[in-house]
Amino acid sequence: MMIDLLVSAAGVARPAGPADTVGGRPARFVAAPGRPDQLAALLARCFSEGLTAVPRGDGSKLDWGAPPSTVDVLVDTARLAGVHDHPEGDLVVTVGAGTPLRAMQAVLGRSGERLALDPGSPEATVGGVLATGEAGPLAHTYGFPRDLLIGVEFARADGTLARAGGKVVKNVAGYDLGKLLCGSYGTLGVLTSATFRLHPLPVARSWLIRPVHRVGEAVELVAVLRDSPLAPAAVEVDLPPGNGGPVPRQRGGGPSGPATLAVLFEGSALGVPARCHAAAQLLGTEADELSIVDEAPDWWGRYPFGSGDVGLRLSVPPSELATAVLLLREEAGVPVPVRGSAGIGVLHAALPGTLPVPRLAEILATVRAGLAERDGWCVALCAPEPARGELDLWGPAPGLELMRRVKEQFDPRRLLSPGRFVGGI
Amino acid sequence: MTLDLLARRLRRELGDEAVITDPATRRTYDCDGLTAYRSTPGLVVLPADAAGVRASVRACRDAGVPFVARGSGTGLSAGALPEAEGLLIVTARMRRILEVDLANQRAVVEPGVINLAVSRAVGPAGYYYAPDPSSQQICSIGGNVAENSGGAHCVKYGFTVNHVTGLEVCTADGELVRLGAGRAAQAPGYDLTGVFVGSEGTLGIATKVWVRLLRSPESVCTILAAFRGIEQAGAAVSAIIAAGLRPAAAEIMDALAIGAAEAAVACGYPPGAGAVLIVELDGPAVEVEAEAAAVTALCGEAFEVRSATDPGRRAEIWRGRKSAFAAVGRISRDYIVQDGVIPRTALAEVLHEIEELAAAAGIRVANVFHAGDGNLHPLVLYDGQEPGALARAEEVSAAILDLCVKRGGSITGEHGVGVDKAAKLPLMFSPEDLATMQLVRCAFDADGRANPGKIFPTPRRCAERGGGAVAPGPRSGAGEASGATREGGTLRRPAERA
């Protein structure tokens, strides 16, 4: 029996239940290896049996990406969890791929440290964040997961365990395969553990909140901030749809007000208020409209799309932000909430999943063509049925032919998350 | 014969002035900054642009000849060691800054552009390019991309890979391919830019580089703290990091290195110092002021602390550190510059162990290092004219790397593996790890024509694209296969040229 083979390899395995799906594709089995060698044995078994495997962390982004062609084995990473190594004072940590990010941050916080990564899916596991390359507002200063990851261990499609990078921040020995795995959606390997560089928790944090009335105004203010030496930690905008209606949320919160620019400052107890006030002067408007608060606005770092929406990510040069938003809204012809990291030109948006699929395809094609002229990209992160299976969620990718060759080397039999990634990879 | 035909084709396609066949001129390219390895390239070409690189690589493909890319030749791991039967593609004529886009904080540059030239170009507008290897006055951006160069300030700002957002590369097949987001922050697909940066020329040649420009900080403060011993200096760095401060640089020099710097440039560091710590803080003035006060307080064991915020006085503090590598030539005929990394908290113990190693071998080791990130640069001193001295120095140098690995560190923090450390890579990685890395190489360069013999101790045979057949493996082995000669008596490494 297949299930017995999977149990003997992974330690824990069971037939899949109705909830065990990936992008609507039902899995046949669920296996939960508890150690790297069990993961390796599991993938080796899948390899020899020709079974497709898709890793799952918390499942918070399992509906992201295109649906895999088949899911024979859902590889649950929950038992590959835990803080393996957190040497005091070195500002690095090694954790199992199945570790919830939030739990890890709690451990680090006790030492006055953090991983400077605040993705929009708060329940996510480390492996899930890495596999999707998910980042939040702090990417403005600290970059994406690829910028903070310094070492990885993972299992290849044939079950070979491999490591790259290391446990020190500065290291140029060998190819940096961690970069390749970040944002690869489980198509090249399954992570067992990751090592990150950490940062000290800031002593003080404050948000400067400033209402804006036009998209163009928000973009101008972001440019002013970028050109200032005030060094904000993050610069976010919330651009509710033109009709002022409520913005769908991934979770919680009430209706949005007008469009808002929110700027996070982190630093010393004296420095943060001083920089907030300097920024307030710079962004000058009637004083009563500006506020400086110690809590993030409730929309901060949350996606503007929900489960019924087509969730978009636009990544454009910041100077093209206004054009990109207007292009999207004009083409969509329906209210489109937009929100995200204006300081680095990464925005998220929601299209109603109720639009007919050909209409959605048209919108995506027009927006992608318009952005391509401006060195920008538009990816549909997620979509409800039936759009999910019919749309080209990814669109064009630079260097796709080389990507295919990389995939072919790492997974020649196309067993790892087949079809989930760009260009059908 | 093959090379003669290749030369003729390149002359036709790139022009006479781009091709060097004359043996004496070719010999000037026989090594990079690590002069211990030498090999005269069979043929040298200096393309004027990306199209010229593509033409050169295509000619190599058609002739079945390997190629090696070279920027300014300042590398310290023999990563640009030429092939005697191959083509050396020198990017020195590709020095155009193609685009500066301040609104989006990007510049697009050709690979031969000098690192410092980027900051010079955008400095007047209040921007700069962060990675600052100490050879930044002469090293090229293309070389930085190949080596994933760091510098004194990478402890805060990261390495070349964190500042390159896109590339145009020429693959070994002679295709120009755009990788990465470029002016934007994120593009769909695998992060091929991320894996290309630091691949030491083995995945192809970067022909255009999109770099991030950072806003120049409002304020910069450089602090020099003089300690009686190196342990106190190391402890001060630990205390600074533990306090949650984020120095832009934290550099330590020991007494031997200080002595050399004094002899060379009269840097005027406090007399009697057993170690000096240089800490730089940058950012908004109000933060820098607070951090400077905190750092000064945490350097309580120092017997003298100086600080400076104006550029002239800051440069004075840096002068000794920046000259340190070259200055060591003042106190020793010959020396080996080592590059290893340890967890920062192991600093004191490892330095002590290095001292013991050196004493046991009867060799002096000067220490200059990036203390903030545990990147050691021990300078192993010896006299090449003394019989056996080189061998002893090399033993100590190798033993230092073993120490780094034993502590969970790395055999190279910024100089790269190249030819020099290919044999050491298995200390850090299993055969499976190395085979996995080489899958990437197979994807980019199945025939192993791009910079063969670098990084990997043993080449891998690549499965042919789309089939099970096995293509002939790349040329074998580091060092010997690339025709390198070790010139023991002249093993002198003029490392950092700041």
Q: Are residues A251 and A180 part of one domain?
A: no
Do residue A174 and residue B217 have CB atoms under 8 angstroms apart? no
Provide the CA B457 distance to its chain's centre, in angstroms.
20
pLDDT at B488: 38
User: Which pTM was predicted?
Assistant: 0.94
Residue A423, in any domain of the structure = no
Residue A47, in any domain of the structure = yes
Do residue A398 and residue B179 have CB atoms under 8 angstroms apart? yes
Please report, for the domain that includes residue A243, its CATH number. Answer: 3.30.70.2190
Where in the sequence is the domain holding A141, given as residue range(s)? Answer: 83-200
Place of tokens 């770092």: A301
Q: Are residues A63 and A104 part of one domain?
A: no
Do residue A398 and residue B189 have CB atoms under 8 angstroms apart? yes
DSSP string, B260-325: HHHHHH---PPTT-SEEEEEEEEESHHHHHHHHHHHHHHTTT-SEEEEE-SHHHHHHHHHHHHHHH
Q: Would you call A110 an interface residue with chain B, using a CB distance cutoff of 8 Å?
A: no
Q: Are residues A165 and A243 part of one domain?
A: no
pLDDT tens, residue order, chain A (425 aa): 899 999 999 999 999 999 999 999 999 999 999 999 999 999 999 999 999 999 999 999 999 999 999 999 999 999 999 999 999 889 999 999 999 999 999 999 999 999 999 999 989 999 999 999 999 999 999 999 999 999 999 999 999 999 999 999 999 999 999 999 999 999 999 999 999 999 999 999 999 999 988 899 999 999 999 999 999 999 999 999 865 444 443 333 333 457 999 999 999 999 999 999 999 999 986 656 789 999 999 999 999 999 899 999 999 999 999 999 999 999 999 999 999 999 999 999 999 999 999 999 999 999 999 999 999 999 999 999 999 999 999 999 999 999 999 999 999 999 999 999 999 99
Do residue A313 and residue B409 have CB atoms under 8 angstroms apart? no
Digit-coded pLDDT (tens) for B98-137: 999 999 999 999 999 999 999 999 999 999 999 999 899 9
- When CB atoms are compared, the residue of B148, B215, B238 closest to A89 is B238
Number of independent structural domains in chain A: 4
Do residue B343 and residue A179 have CB atoms under 8 angstroms apart? no
Contacts of A203 in chain B (CB under 8 A): 244
- Give the residues across from A263 on adjacent strands: A208, A235
Q: Are residues A233 and A151 part of one domain?
A: no
B97-215: CATH topology is: 3.30.465
Out of A263, A293, A323, pick the residue that ends a domain. A293
- Among residues A68, A75, A60, the alpha carbon closest in space to that of A155 is found at A75
Q: Would you call A168 an interface residue with chain B, using a CB distance cutoff of 8 Å?
A: yes
CA–CA min distance B34, chain A (Å) = 17
Q: Are residues A376 and A343 part of one domain?
A: yes
Contacts of A345 in chain B (CB under 8 A): 104, 184-185
Q: Are residues A251 and A173 part of one domain?
A: no
CA dihedral A23, A26, A31, A36 (to 10 degrees): -30
Contacts of B416 in chain A (CB under 8 A): 172
Do residue A180 and residue B190 have CB atoms under 8 angstroms apart? yes
Please report, for the domain that includes residue A329, its CATH number. Answer: 3.30.70.2740
Instruction: Give the whole-angstrom CA distance, residue A250 versus residue A122.
Output: 10
Q: Would you call A167 an interface residue with chain B, using a CB distance cutoff of 8 Å?
A: yes
Residue type, A6: L
pLDDT at B124: 97
Q: Are residues A389 and A347 part of one domain?
A: yes
Out of A167, A200, A233, pick the residue that ends a domain. A200
* CATH number 1.25.40.10 given to B2-92: no
Residue A302, in any domain of the structure = no
Residues 336 to 395 of A: which have CB under 8 A from any B CB?
344-346, 375-377, 379, 394-395
Contacts of B186 in chain A (CB under 8 A): 133, 144, 313, 315, 346, 377
Instruction: Give the whole-angstrom CA distance, residue A383 versus residue A54.
Output: 19
Sign (positive/negative) of CA torsion B342, B345, B347, B350? negative
Residue of A nearest to B168 (CA): A399
Residue A37, in any domain of the structure = yes
Residue of B nearest to A176 (CA): B195
Residue of B nearest to A401 (CA): B177
Instruction: Give the whole-angstrom CA distance, residue B275 versus residue B354.
Output: 16
Residues 295 to 314 of A: which have CB under 8 A from any B CB?
313
Contacts of B246 in chain A (CB under 8 A): 199-200
pLDDT at B479: 36
Q: Are residues A29 and A10 part of one domain?
A: yes
- When CB atoms are compared, the residue of B188, B246, B421 closest to A394 is B188
Q: Are B348 and B235 in contact (CB under 8 A)?
A: yes
- Among residues A233, A30, A43, A196, the alpha carbon closest in space to that of A113 is found at A196
Q: Are B267 and B278 in contact (CB under 8 A)?
A: no
B219-406: CATH topology is: Vanillyl-alcohol Oxidase; Chain A, domain 3 (3.40.462)
Map out the domains of chain B as residue ranges: 2-92, 97-215, 219-406, 420-481
Do residue B159 and residue A396 have CB atoms under 8 angstroms apart? no
Instruction: Give the whole-angstrom CA distance, residue B183 versus residue B169.
Output: 16
Q: Are residues A175 and A110 part of one domain?
A: yes
pLDDT at A245: 45
Out of A55, A77, A99, pick the residue that ends a domain. A77
Angle at which helix B347-361 crosses helix B230-242, to 10 degrees, equals 160
Q: Are residues A266 and A229 part of one domain?
A: yes
Start-to-end CA distance of chain B, whole Å, equals: 42
Please report, for the domain that includes residue A30, its CATH number. Answer: 3.30.43.10
CA–CA min distance B458, chain A (Å) = 13
Contacts of B462 in chain A (CB under 8 A): 409
Q: Are residues A186 and A273 part of one domain?
A: no
Mean pLDDT, contiguous 10-residue spans, chain B (498 residues): 94 98 97 95 98 98 97 96 98 98 98 98 98 94 97 94 98 97 97 98 98 97 97 93 93 96 95 97 96 96 97 96 90 94 92 94 94 95 94 96 96 97 97 98 97 93 57 36 41 35
pLDDT at B470: 37
ipTM for the complex shown: 0.96
Cis geometry, peptide bond prior to residue A386 (ω within 30 degrees of 0): yes
Residue A413, in any domain of the structure = no
- When CB atoms are compared, the residue of A271, A408, A421 closest to B290 is A271
Among B186, B193, B414, B434, the residue to mutate for chain A (most A Cβ within 10 A): B186
Q: Are residues A196 and A96 part of one domain?
A: yes
Cβ-Cβ contacts under 8 Å between A and B: the total is 279
Do residue B436 and residue A394 have CB atoms under 8 angstroms apart? no
Residue A406, in any domain of the structure = no
Neighbours of A326 (CB within 10 A): 14
Do residue A173 and residue B429 have CB atoms under 8 angstroms apart? yes
- When CB atoms are compared, the residue of A156, A274, A316 closest to B436 is A156
- When CB atoms are compared, the residue of A156, A227, A399 closest to B189 is A399
- Give the residues across from B205 on adjacent strands: B170
How many residues can be counted in chain B?
Answer: 498
